[in-house]
């Protein structure tokens, strides 16, 4: 009586499959967002390094321009 021709098992499997599918989609979206954020952070880090390198070089050479300070 609990299974009624396997219908309940089939429904549970379908529900479980839907939950797993949604979880995978959310995980993929999370990982994509994480990767995009990491790429943006790396770009920012690269820009900061370039500015520090330029300021250091200009300071060392003695040609530091007021607009960079």
pLDDT tens for residues 4-56? Answer: 655 666 677 677 778 888 899 999 999 999 999 999 999 999 999 999 888 88
- The tally of domains found in the chain comes to 1
**Residue 50 within any structural domain of the chain:** yes
**Residue 2 within any structural domain of the chain:** no
> What is the CA angle 49-52-57, rounded to 5?
125
**Residue 55 within any structural domain of the chain:** yes
| pLDDT score, position 29 | 95
| pLDDT score, position 9 | 62
**Residue 16 within any structural domain of the chain:** yes
| pLDDT score, position 6 | 58
**Residue 1 within any structural domain of the chain:** no
| pLDDT score, position 45 | 96
Q: Show Cβ contacts of residue 56 under 8 Å, excluding neighbours closer than 6 positions.
A: none
Name the pLDDT band for 1 (thresholds 50, 70, 90): very low
């Amino acid at each position: 009586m609990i299974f009624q021709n396997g219908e309940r098992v089939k429904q549970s499997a379908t529900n479980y499959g839907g939950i797993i599918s949604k979880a995978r989609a959310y995980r993929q979206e999370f990982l994509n967002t994480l990767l995009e954020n990491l790429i943006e952070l790396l770009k920012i880090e690269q820009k900061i390094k370039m500015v520090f390198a330029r300021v250091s070089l200009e300071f060392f050479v003695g040609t530091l321009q007021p607009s960079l300070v």
